[in-house]
Amino acid sequence: MSHQLVGRNKKAFHEYEILDRFEAGVVLQGTEVKAIREHKVSLKESFVRIKDEEAWLENCHISPYSHGNISNHDPLRARKLLLHRREIKKLIGKTIKSGFTIVPLSMYLKDGRVKLEIALARGKRLYDKREADRRKTLEREVETALKRGKR
């Protein structure tokens, strides 16, 4: 099982508290797959929406394929996600009842297929973000102090 990371949504870890993760397949056109293999994907502003008991990846930018022709794909089109019915039901229940949201975390190639890691997440408050930044800064300072002490 080889994983080749194609794109990450770094902002998701800062903006949201990640609760549960899922792996989903993505329905793509041929030129989209080729562009993804060139790492021409951005998950920065993307999100997952459930419509008619189907999961859709919205606002994910996959740049047009460099060697594509007139039949190149639309970079921002909605793409269907392939999940099991029970996973979709779980996501529907959590997002409606508890006020959670579904965010894409990363896109990768797994055994030649494009996979998307999505997460059930809760938005962080401003003070939570500040606390996380403060903790990260402290850990970084401790790490550098330890490295200096070893010399």
Is pLDDT of 85 > 90? yes
Residues 52-71, mean pLDDT to the nearest whole number: 84
Q: What is the pLDDT of residues 89-133, one digit of tens each?
A: 998 888 887 778 899 999 999 998 999 999 998 887 777 778 888
* Longest Cα separation, the chain: 60
Strand order, beta sheet including 113-123: 3-8, 101-110, 113-123, 16-26, 79-82, 54-58, 47-51
Please name the residue that has the structure tokens 């080749």. 4
Domains of the chain: 3-124 (2.40.280.10)
pTM for the predicted model, two decimal places: 0.77
Residues 30-59, mean pLDDT to the nearest whole number: 89
Answer for the pair 59, 47: CB distance below 8 angstroms, yes or no.
Answer: yes
Residues 13-36, mean pLDDT to the nearest whole number: 88
Supply the pLDDT for residue 128.
76
From 70-74, 75-79, 123-127, the region with the lowest mean pLDDT: 70-74
Supply the pLDDT for residue 73.
76
Supply the pLDDT for residue 115.
93
Supply the pLDDT for residue 1.
56
Supply the pLDDT for residue 74.
76
Q: What is the pLDDT of residues 130-149, one digit of tens each?
A: 888 888 888 888 888 888 87
Helical (H) or strand (E) element with 90: helix 85-98
Please name the residue that has the structure tokens 């859709």. 56
